[in-house]
Amino acid sequence: MTHESEHGLPPTKPRRRLDSRSLRGLAHPLRMSILELLTMDGPATATGLAARLGENTGTVSWHLRHLAQHGFIEEEVGRGTKRERWWRVVDEPKILSTADFRDDPDARGALSVYMHELVQQYFNRVVNYLNEDWDDDWQRADTISDWRDLRMTPAQLKALNAELMAVIARHTLPQDAEPAPGALPIIVQIQSFPRGRRGGA
């Protein structure tokens, strides 16, 4: 399984491939929640993040420093004070391949935490959307779909994913481009994986 996190960056930009050390630095529920908020909503302070997450400011500050040590976030220079620093996500696409950790028993625990928290984040985004009141135009434009009648080899699944990523890339604006009037941030979540047979002979 491969997880790519591009955050709307150009697909040609060099990617950072997560290793076991950086994975262990990220694989914590609160750190992943912090990183998600900074990614989705932009720079914030420990105080602001703590209020949104219902956590102690000191605890959030500690996790922010931890994320910074591992290169996931950085201080926004020239903003804030010595006592109240602003943090932002490092401008760098990231890629994680679970196959990289197949023979690394020390990373399995961190990988399990990371993947389960990631899927929970995906689920929560959909639930939050469904609980919100959107007008008819947006409700006609959205989709929550799945397809269950495909039969593929690993090579065919990899090709399908590459095509899907290319479609997303075509619809991703350059960083310096102005969005269309009325445009809002859009989340596209893609999960594609094989299913083992259940029951029956």
Condensed to tens digits (0 to 9), the pLDDT of residues 50-91 reads 999 999 999 999 999 999 999 999 999 888 777 789 999 998
In this prediction, residue 175 carries a pLDDT of 81
In this prediction, residue 192 carries a pLDDT of 93
151 CB-side CA count, 13 A: 1
Element (H, E) at 182: none
**Angle, in degrees to the nearest 10, between helices 57-69 and 46-53:** 120
The model carries a pTM of 0.84
Element (H, E) at 16: strand 16-17
User: Can you name the residues that pair with 74 across neighbouring β-strands?
Assistant: 88
In this prediction, residue 9 carries a pLDDT of 40
Burial class (CB in 10 A: 0-12, 13-18, 19+), 172: middle
pLDDT greater than 60 at residue 153: yes
What is the overall mean pLDDT for the chain?
90
